[in-house]
Amino acid sequence: SKDKWQDNSTAGVVTGLAWTAVGGEILFVETSLSKGKGKLTLTGNLGDVMKESALLALEYLRANTDKLGLKTESFDEWNVHVHVPEGAIPKDGPSAGVTMVTSLASAFTQRKVRARLAMTGEITLRGKVLPVGGIKEKILAAKRAGITDIILSHENQKDIEEINDIYLEGLEFHFVKEVEEVLKLALLDEKVKKPLAI
């Protein structure tokens, strides 16, 4: 099934965790860069709040280029397209914030994303990671999908403590306060094969 962790060979592809009417799900955030003038395109049947997450993620990176060794000019010389499959499913809410900022950071650095990692959490403009809902359902979906490491806001730690241990077996949790910690955990030093010259 497609609801499995896949691989980390492509820059800009990050696994997120979503919570829908029928339970938890994994989702992928994909970022593609192409030479251009800094245009941002958002697809995947996204609601306004989820689109705002992408704006926040992009602005966070623009304002923190130094932390990732990015060049300010890159943001004006590449078009950015962020997509969240699957198109038939409407998606909204702020909880893909960490996934989006990691996807964008991977695309702009061309660094690989850690294998078998998933994440969920709202981000703010100054780089805080806020807690989100549906943690139990998301954890179950992550296990089913073959995930081994999960990044959450430190304010979601209490939600994990309430889950029966048998559901947590084989999962390692990384509780964070800042986007900077997310990126350190999620991005490998290794670049993808044939990286773009950004």
Chain contacts with a second copy (rule: CB under 8 A) = 1-2, 10, 12-13, 28, 30-35, 41, 43-45, 48-49, 52-53, 55-56, 59-60, 62-63, 72, 75, 79, 81, 83, 85-88, 93-94, 97, 122, 124-126, 128, 130-131, 155
Q: Look up 91 and say whether it is catalytic.
A: no
Per the residue annotation, which of 32, 138, 143, 153 is the catalytic one? 138
Report the DSSP beta bridge partners of residue 26.
17
Active-site pick, 32, 53, 91, 95: 95
Stretch that binds Ca ion, among 56-64, 127-135, 165-173, 180-188 (CB under 5 A): 165-173
Contact 159, 135 (CB under 8 A): yes
* 72: partner contacted, choices a second copy, Ca ion, none (Cβ within 5-8 A by kind): a second copy
Q: Return the residue of 73, 172, 173, 195 that touches Ca ion, per CB under 5 A.
A: 172
- Give the count of residues interacting with Ca ion (CB under 5 A): 2
Nearest CA-CA partner of 24 in 155, 175, 145: 145
Q: Does 112 qualify as catalytic in the annotation?
A: no
User: What is the smallest separation between the CB atom of 94 and a second copy, expressed in angstroms?
Assistant: 3
149 binds, among a second copy, Ca ion, none (CB under 5 to 8 A by kind): Ca ion
C-alpha–C-alpha distance, residues 53 and 58, integer Å: 9
Based on the shown chain and the rule CB under 5 A, indicate whether residue 73 belongs to the binding site for Ca ion: no
Tokens of 152: 């959450």
Question: 41 contacts which partner out of Ca ion, a second copy, none, CB within 5 to 8 A by kind?
Answer: a second copy
Q: What's the sign of the alpha-carbon dihedral 108, 99, 27, 150?
A: positive
Whichever of 38 and 171 has its CB closer to a second copy, that residue is: 38
Cβ pair 119, 152 in contact under 8 A:
yes
What span, in angstroms and rounded, lies between the C-alpha atoms of 180 and 74? 20
Q: Per CB under 5 A, does 149 bind Ca ion?
A: yes
Helix (H/G/I), strand (E/B), else coil: 144:
helix
Pair of tokens at residue 129: 């990671």
3 vs 136: CA distance, rounded Å: 17
Assess 90 for contact with Ca ion (CB under 5 A).
no
Cis peptide before 86 (omega within 30 of 0): yes
Q: Would you please indicate which residues are annotated as catalytic (active-site) residues?
A: 95, 138
